[in-house]
Amino acid sequence: MSPSPDALPNVTRRLLSVLLPAALLALAPLPAAAQDQSPSDDLPVAEIQAFAEVFERIKRAYVEEVEDADLLRNAMRGMLNELDPHSAYLDDEEFESLRESTQGEFGGVGIEVGMEEGQLTVITPIDDTPASRAGLQSRDKILRIDDTPTDRLSLQEAVNLMRGDPGTEIRLTILRQGESAPLEVTLTREIIRTVSVKSELLEAGYGYLRVSQFQTRTGEQVNNAIRRLERDAPLKGLVLDLRNNPGGVLQAAVDVADAFLDEGLIVYTEGRLPDSEMRFSAGRDTAAADVPLVVLINGGSASAAEIVAGALQDQRRGVVMGTESFGKGSVQQIMPLGNGEGLKLTTALYFTPDGRSIQALGIEPDVEVIRGRLEVAEGSGLDVRESDLEGHLGSQREQRTRREMSERLREDYQLGEALNLLKALNVLSQRRGD
């Protein structure tokens, strides 16, 4: 039997006086279109009272004094964290960091970092940034950020420490492979404008387009990259690399798919409320509507990357190659709060044009190719070509470029197989044309 309100401590009564009206407001009648979707109109008074009692017990008995605001903020975090892995309560720093990452512009030093064996590690320095100019290298271990050891920091906490106002200095203590003593590097933060799209020619007529994440301007960058690749001659084939792409902005994914489709559905979403149901279709203004296409995916391809791969697969626009994707098919809305903080809340699910749900299923490739390295048996003679012979005809620059590309294709077996498939498709197309 629950105690009467008069028997509760003062703090609990005050908290109930706030929570009960707020809960009543939250359960106010919904618009007519959404009323049928409300699971229950019963007010969980007992649970709200239990929450207030827990709050009171912590305030009174916890070993250290805790601020009311911290307790309530942690309660809100818990509410969202228990829903699914992608819903979250964002404090002001996290909210601003999310906004910056989608815009692709922030104050920092220009390094991509990750955790390797529990240690903050440089994945790669971004070109033409303070980090690359200072000589930071992939696999450098970051031991300290200014005077803060990194072994107790989460990845997000470390990123937040390295970001800051342009013009301010930051000191990194790093340990480089093969060196016994740590190095100390002082960098000056700048505005970092990340580029989510990289492109190059693998061979004459065969292009490579790498999309590392989906930011606000990614669609524009893809269209510009295709025009650059076609500057000297029409493309015979294109590899769209979405491996290890964690996703990002939905509209950017639609724009990228639209660069290869001139009609048809790209993606649609379904949720409980009418405004969460959306449909996106391709327009006729298309950068590469007819270029043979291979799309590379793997277990790190998620969310917006899966939208693009699923649309191109369902529309029979390209061959999806690699391994099964991650399977994040849920839609998150970012909802700002009045105090500068925000919510990231899952409100809908993605579906491919054929009605396939991506959530927890992922995209299965048309051609499965496991990532690996192509090795030529030592002494077989198969790894020696005319271009490897000393003094052969041809420019030094051409020789170096071919060697570098050949080595890259040996290192990246999936990319090499994608190029081979494009060549085969091109041969078949020419024969059909004859």
Average pLDDT over residues 33-40: 48
CATH architecture for segment(s) 197-368: Alpha-Beta Complex (3.90)
**Where do we find the tokens 């001139």?**
262
Q: What is the pLDDT of residue 170?
A: 96
Average pLDDT over residues 362-371: 93
Exposure class string for 270-308: b at 16+ Cβ within 10 A, else e: ebeeeeeeeebebeeebbbeebbbbbbbbeebbbbbbbb
Q: What is the pLDDT of residue 421?
A: 95
CB 249 within 8 Å of CB 332: no
In the predicted model, what is the mean pLDDT of the chain? Answer: 82
User: Any idea where the domains of the chain sit in the sequence?
Assistant: 105-193, 197-368
Phi/psi of residue 189, nearest 5 degrees: -65, 145
Q: Between 399 and 210, where is the model more confident?
A: 210
Check if 105-193 and 197-368 are the same fold.
no
- Residue 188 banded pLDDT, cuts 50, 70, 90: very high
Q: What is the pLDDT of residue 307?
A: 97
Alpha carbons 194 and 175: distance in angstroms, whole number: 25
Calculate ∠ Cα 344-276-22, nearest 5°: 55
Average pLDDT over residues 301-306: 92
Q: Tell me the catalytic residues.
A: 303, 314, 328
**pLDDT tens digits, one per residue of 191-239:** 887 778 999 999 999 999 999 889 889 999 999 999 999 998 899 999 9
In this structure, are strands 342-351 and 330-336 parallel, antiparallel, or unpaired? antiparallel
Q: What is the pLDDT of residue 322?
A: 96
Alpha carbons 144 and 172: distance in angstroms, whole number: 6
Predicted TM-score (pTM) above 0.75: no
Tokens of 3: 């105690």
% the chain with pLDDT above 70: 79
Lowest mean pLDDT among 19-28, 174-183, 227-236, 339-348: 19-28
Q: Between 320 and 408, where is the model more confident?
A: 320
Q: What is the pLDDT of residue 380?
A: 43
- Residue 26 banded pLDDT, cuts 50, 70, 90: very low
Tokens of 191: 């505005």
Q: What is the pLDDT of residue 384?
A: 46
Supply the CATH classification number for the domain 105-193: 2.30.42.10
